[in-house]
Amino acid sequence: MSGFEYVRADDLDSAVALVSGDPGAAYLAGGTTQLDLVLKDRVVHPSRLVDIGRLPLRGTTLDGDRLRVGALTAMEELAADPVLAARLPFVREALLAGASTQLRNMATIGGNLLQRTRCRYFRDPDVPACNKRAPGSGCAAVTGAARMHAILGASANCVALHASDLCVPLTALDAQVHVQGVDGRRVVPLTRFYVLPGDRPDVENVLAHGEVVTHVDLPLLPAGTASGYLKVRDRASYEFALTSAAAALLVVDGTVERARVALGGVGTVPWRAVEAEAVLVGAPASVETFRAAAEAAIHDPFTVPGTEFKVELAKRTVVRVLSTVSGVRS
């Protein structure tokens, strides 16, 4: 293992300067992903880790119709927030569906957004073909064991899944990500935060080197909106999603007036299903409508041997979450 410098930042400005000034530097917060990649898997080799874990970027603030969440808020801490439980219940469900209690007490919200893929080939330094780790080297996953990989936004260049549960309802909500870099602050909608792999799977988001996530704004659901998160997985806890779906519906007199739908377990990025939302809005809240929305949500999938089953499973996941949220059953 190559060595790295460890630095604990005293404030945000010095943290940004420490990372921005060194092309090999990276941030360290809860450490649940970063330390795996650096110390266990040994596939990431920073020259410097800048520990921001003690900076005052923790906690929630209710600001009008949004909940502002500090990037260093722990997942378990956010799940216990009473405003989140009352006004964003599907976010709470997604938080509690992820990882384990121990990990959720360490893992931060900012780190969750920036987590790296669980692709086993990415995390194995003995596998040479990984375009995400070594651009231009190929992709071992497309001909390997691919059960946990993506079918939306994928290509022969990379089928790596974005495995976050939390990001699925956050994508449905249009959460806003606040970042700070040497050139100042900016706000990026979560729906434009991630980059499809294309021919550069190593580029995963729009952050410039040195930019850090400071907080995330979650718009509260309008009154009367019901929401839910459904995660389908091989075992009931401590397992990543095969498929998942988050939905928020406002149904008035049997008609869907407002719909937000996002998918997990299937996309190279957290997947907003705008086509499904278009089918839902103005339509009767019925299982037939939900099936049409599911068909619209999963269009042009890219499958490899081992991921074909996800196409139908994802559609059924969408129908199920919409049925549960609306209370409409076949």
CB of 160 to ligand SF4, least distance (A): 4
Smallest distance, ligand SF4 to C-beta of residue 272, A: 21
The reply on whether position 132 binds ligand SF4 by CB under 6 A is yes
CB of 166 to ligand SF4, least distance (A): 21
**Residue 197: left (phi > 0), alpha (psi -120 to 50), or beta?**
alpha
Task: From 1-9, 134-142, 217-225, 258-266, give the range in contact with ligand SF4 by CB under 6 A.
Answer: 134-142
The residue within the footprint of ligand SF4, chosen from 78, 130, 256, 269 (CB under 6 A), is: 130
Residue 33 sits in the site that holds ligand SF4 (CB under 6 A) = no
Which residue, 156 or 278, has its beta carbon nearer to ligand SF4? 156
Pairwise CA distance, residues 143 & 139, whole Å: 8
Instruction: Kindly state the tokens that stand for 18.
Output: 């420490």
Shortest approach of ligand SF4 to residue 40 CB, angstroms?
17
Residues 295, 296, 302: CA angle, nearest 5 degrees: 80
Binding mask 93-122 for ligand SF4 (x = CB under 6 A): ------------------------x-x-xx
Query: Which of these ranges, 11-19, 83-91, 136-144, 313-321, lies near ligand SF4 under the rule CB under 6 A?
Result: 136-144
Please report, as residue ranges, which positions from 258 to 317 form the binding site for ligand SF4 (by CB under 6 A): none
Distance, CA of 250 to CA of 161 (rounded, Å)? 30
Query: Which one of the spans 96-104, 129-137, 215-223, 292-300 is the region binding ligand SF4 (CB under 6 A)?
Result: 129-137
Q: Quote the CA–CA distance of 325 and 271 in Å, as a whole number.
A: 19
- Binding-site string for ligand SF4 from residue 195 to residue 234, where x marks contact by CB under 6 A and - marks none: ------x---------------------------------
Of 183 and 308, nearer to ligand SF4 (C-beta) is 308
Q: Please, which residue, 114 or 141, has the CB nearer to ligand SF4?
A: 141
Check the CA dihedral 34-38-41-43 and report its sign.
positive
194 forms part of the interface with ligand SF4 (CB under 6 A): no
| Residue 215 burial by Cβ neighbours in a 10 Å radius (0-12, 13-18, 19+) | buried
Q: Which residue of 18, 37, 113, 141 would you call a contact of ligand SF4, by CB under 6 A? A: 141
- Find the helix packing angle between 287-297 and 309-326, rounded to 10°: 140
The answer to whether 57 touches 51, Cβ cutoff 8 Å, is no
Taking the C-alpha atoms of residue 133 and residue 160, their distance in angstroms, rounded to an integer, is 12
| Smaller CB separation from ligand SF4, 58 or 200 | 200
Q: Which is nearer to ligand SF4, 71 or 140 (CB)?
A: 140
Nearest to 304 by CA among 119, 166, 126, 137: 119
Quick one: which of 131, 189, 182, 184 has its CA closest to 159?
Answer: 131
| Sites for ligand SF4 among residues 146-175 (CB under 6 A) | 158-160
Q: How many residues bind ligand SF4 (CB under 6 A)?
A: 14
DSSP strand E in the chain: where?
5-8, 25-28, 48-51, 60-63, 66-70, 176-181, 184-189, 212-219, 226-232, 243-252, 255-264, 271-272
Residues 87/41, Cβ–Cβ less than 8 Å: no
For 181, the token pair is: 């870099």
Q: What does the binding site for ligand SF4 look like in residue numbers (CB under 6 A)? A: 117, 119, 121-122, 130-132, 139-141, 158-160, 201
